[in-house]
Chain A
Amino acid sequence: MSHVFRLLLSIFIILNSTLNASTYDDDVLNIFSKVLPRFILMSSKKDEIKKEIRICILHDNIDEKIALSLIRKTNDYYPNGIKEYQLKFIQTNYSDISKCNSSVLLFLLNSNDKNIKRTLKFSRKYKKLTISYDAKLLENGTDISMFLGRKIIPYININSIREKNIELNNNLLRISKIYNKEAK
C-alpha cells in the first residue's frame, strides 16, 4: 500500500509541475507585464482612475504562482507606477470575483468555461476591461489578448469593446489585430 501511495504521489507531483511549466510563456508574461497598465491608459477607462490603477488578476489555485509572477514582473517594470498613477494588484481566485469590484482591469489567466463565463458576465455588467492570457478567450467575450503569431501584437475583440462602450486609442487599434466574431 505504501508503495502505491508513494507512486501515486510522485506521479501527482511530476504531473503538477510539468503541467504548470508548459501553460504560460514567460516572454508572453513579460509582454503582458508591460502592456497591462498601458492598455488601461490607452482606453476610456483611464477616466475612472483617480490615484491608482487597480488591476485584478483572476486565476485558478494552480496558477497562483503565475499570478504572483505577473504582478512581480509588472511592479519591476513599473517600480514607480506609470505616469502619476500607482499600480495596485488584486490577485484572486475565480471563485471570489467580488474582490475585483474596485478594479478597472481584469486579467484572466486560464480557467474552465464556467469561471470564464461568470467572470465575463461580471465584466460586462460592471463594464470592466478584460484582458486574457489566452487569445481563445476572445471568443467568450474577453476584450483584449495578444496575438501570438510571427510577431506578437495586441488582439482586440471589437464587439466586446463596443458593447461596453469602451473607446480605445486609435494608434492601439492601428497596431492591433482585430477579432471579429461575426466575420468568422
Chain B
Amino acid sequence: MMHKIEIKIILSIVFFTIFIIGLERYQLSENIMEQFIESKKSKNNLLIDTIAPIVSLNLSLGLEEAYKDYLKTIAEQNYDLEYIKLIDISNNEIYKYIKDSNIKIKNEENDFLYCRKDIIDSITEDKLATITLKFSNKEYMDMINKNRDITINISIVTLVLLIIFILFIKRVFKHLNKLTDDVLLYDPKKNNFDLAKSTSNDEVGLIHNAIISMVSKINLHTNILDELNASLEDKVKEEVEKNRLQDQKLIQQSKMALMGEMISMIAHQWRQPLNIITLNTVKLETDILLNNKISNEEIHNVTSEINKQSQYLSNTIDDFRYFYKPNKKLETVKLEDVISKSLSIIKASLISSNIEIIEEYKSKEEIELYDNEVMQVIINILKNAQDNFSEKALKDTAPHNIKDPYIKITTENRTISICDNGGGIPENIIEKIFDPYFSTKDEKNSTGLGLYMSKTIIEKHHGGRLHVENRSNAQGASIGVCFVIEI
C-alpha cells in the first residue's frame, strides 16, 4: 500500500535539504571564489603598483642592471609569480622572466592571474614601458579542491543524516501503518480488533488509543443495533402482515360495500332470463288450457330455452360467487377474459341505464394477475361511470345531460383503458379521487374506498399503475374521463 504522507514527508525533507545545502554550498563557494579573486587581484595590483615606480625610476635614470636585479628579486620573493615581461614603447622586449618554461602565457586581460601596467616616468609623465605579470593558479586550484572536498564531506554527512532521518520516520510510520492495517481489517460483526493500548504519548499513540476507544464504542453500538434489528425485523414482519390483513379487510369491506350494488346488478342480469322463462312457461300453460296441440318440437324448444336461461342464471350466480371468493392465487389470463367476467356481472345494469358498451381488445397477451381483484377494479370503475351518467341524467338539462352515453373498454399490451363521455372530473378534485374515504356521492351511497382500493390492488398487489385523465375535444372542452390500468 502506498504510504503517501510518509513518502511525501520523506521526499519533501530530502528535496528541501538538497536544495538548501546545494544553494548554500553554491553561494558560499561563489562568495569564497569571488573574495579570493578580489583578494588576489588586490594583492597583484598592489605588487605591480609597488614595482612600477621603482622600475620607472630605474628606467628613467638609465639604470638597466638595477631594474633587472630588482625584478629578479621581486620574482624570487613572490613564489606565485610565474612570469614578468617588460616591453618598451617600441614594443621591444627589454626584460623577461619565466619561472618554468612549460608555462603557457595567454593574452587574457580579464583573467585575474594576469596583471599589466604602463611604466610612466614620474617626472616627465611619458610612458616608458609596459610591464606584465602572470601569477600561478596553484592557490586558486588548491582552494577549489579544498572547497570541493568540503562540499563532498558536507554531502556525505548530510546523506548519513538523511538516512537516519528516513529510518526514524519509517519507524514512526510503521506504527501508524500497522494501525491502519488493523483498522482496515476490522469487522464489527467478527469483533476482530484486538490491539493493546499504546503507552506512547506522541500523536500516533494518541490516535492509537482513540481508535481503540472508538472501536469498543462501535462494538457496543453494533450489538445494540443487532438487537434492535432483530426486533425490528420481527416488528416489520408483524406490521407487514397487519397491513396485508388490513388490505384484505378493506378489499373485503369494499367488496361488501359493493354487494348491495352487485345484488342490484344480479337483479338486472336475472330479469330478462326470468322473463323469458316466464314467457315460455305461460305459453305452454296457455296451450295446455286451450287444449291446443303441442308438438314435441315445440316442447323441446320451450325446454331448451328454459334450460338455456337457467344456465345463464346459474352462470350469473357462479360469477357472483367467484367474485366474492376470498382467493389470493395468481392466475395467468388474458385481459379481455377478466373484462368479460366483469361485464357478465354489470353489463346488464349498464345496458338498462342506456349506456353503450364499446369493446376493443388488441391485447392477446396472457398476464399473471389476481383476476377477481382486477375484476373488482373494473367493476368499480364501470359502476362509478354508471353512477355519474345517472346523476347527470337526473339533471337532464344542458350541460349536465349526456346524449348517447357510452363506455369504451380497450386493451393494448398490458393496459386496460376505460373511457366514457360522462363530462370528466373537475380539475380541483381529480387528484383526490384515489384518496381513501373521498367521494362525491353522499355517505349512504358510497364509502369512498372504491377507487382507493382499486389503486391499492393495481399498484401494491400487481406492481402496476392506475391513473385517470380527463378527455377533451378539439376545442378543449372536457367530454369525459379515462381510467388507465397498467399491469
A contact residues vs B (CB 8 Å cutoff): 30-31, 34-35, 38, 41-42, 82-83, 150-154, 169, 171-172, 174-175
A175 near B57 (CB under 8 angstroms)? yes
Query: Within the assembled complex, what's the spacing in Å between the Cα atoms of A172 and B54?
Result: 8
Across the interface, B66 reaches (CB within 8 A) one of A30, A34, A83, A151, namely A151
Query: Within the assembled complex, what's the spacing in Å between the Cα atoms of A154 and B66?
Result: 10
Across the interface, B58 reaches (CB within 8 A) one of A83, A150, A175, namely A175
29 intermolecular pairs with C-beta atoms under 8 Å apart: A30-B62, A31-B61, A31-B62, A31-B63, A34-B61, A34-B62, A35-B61, A38-B60, A38-B61, A41-B123, A42-B123, A82-B124, A83-B124, A150-B69, A151-B63, A151-B66, A151-B69, A152-B65, A152-B66, A171-B54, A171-B57, A171-B122, A172-B57, A175-B54, A175-B57, A175-B58, A175-B63, A175-B66, A175-B70
Chain A, residue nearest B52 (CB): A171
Query: Within the assembled complex, what's the spacing in Å between the Cα atoms of A151 and B53?
Result: 19
Q: List the A side residues contacting B63 at CB < 8 Å.
A: 31, 151-153, 175
Report the minimum CB–CB distance from A63 to chain B (whole Å): 22
Contact residues of B between 309 and 333, Cβ < 8 Å to A? none
B contact residues vs A (CB 8 Å cutoff): 53-54, 57-58, 60-63, 65-66, 69-70, 122-124
Total A-B residue contacts, Cβ distance less than 8 Å: 44
Query: Within the assembled complex, what's the spacing in Å between the Cα atoms of A42 and B63?
Result: 16
Report the minimum CB–CB distance from B104 to chain A (whole Å): 32
**B-side interface mostly:** helix
Task: Report the 3 A-B pairs with minimum CB-CB distance, sorted nearest first.
Answer: A151-B65, A34-B62, A171-B53
Query: Within the assembled complex, what's the spacing in Å between the Cα atoms of A175 and B62?
Result: 12
Q: List the A side residues contacting B57 at CB < 8 Å.
A: 171-172, 175
B61 near A174 (CB under 8 angstroms)? no
Chain A, residue nearest B62 (CB): A34
Contact A153 to B66, CB < 8 A, known contacts A171-B57, A174-B54: yes
Q: List the B side residues contacting A175 at CB < 8 Å.
A: 54, 57-58, 61, 63, 66, 70
A83 near B61 (CB under 8 angstroms)? no
Chain B, residue nearest A33 (CB): B62
Contacts beyond the supplied A151-B66, A152-B66: 9 A-B pairs with Cβ under 8 Å: A30-B62, A31-B62, A31-B63, A34-B60, A82-B123, A152-B65, A153-B63, A174-B54, A175-B70
Query: Within the assembled complex, what's the spacing in Å between the Cα atoms of A17 and B210?
Result: 126
Q: List the B side residues contacting A150 at CB < 8 Å.
A: 65, 69
Report the minimum CB–CB distance from A19 to chain B (whole Å): 27
Chain B, residue nearest A42 (CB): B123
Q: List the B side residues contacting A169 at CB < 8 Å.
A: 122
Chain A, residue nearest B61 (CB): A35
Query: Within the assembled complex, what's the spacing in Å between the Cα atoms of A169 and B61?
Result: 14
Contact A83 to B123, CB < 8 A, known contacts A152-B65, A175-B58: yes
Report the minimum CB–CB distance from A149 to chain B (whole Å): 9
Report the minimum CB–CB distance from A171 to chain B (whole Å): 5
Q: List the B side residues contacting A153 at CB < 8 Å.
A: 63, 66
Q: List the A side residues contacting B122 at CB < 8 Å.
A: 169, 171
Report the minimum CB–CB distance from B16 to chain A (whole Å): 59
Q: List the A side residues contacting B124 at CB < 8 Å.
A: 82-83
Query: Within the assembled complex, what's the spacing in Å between the Cα atoms of A174 and B74?
Result: 14
A154 near B123 (CB under 8 angstroms)? no
Q: List the A side residues contacting B60 at CB < 8 Å.
A: 34, 38
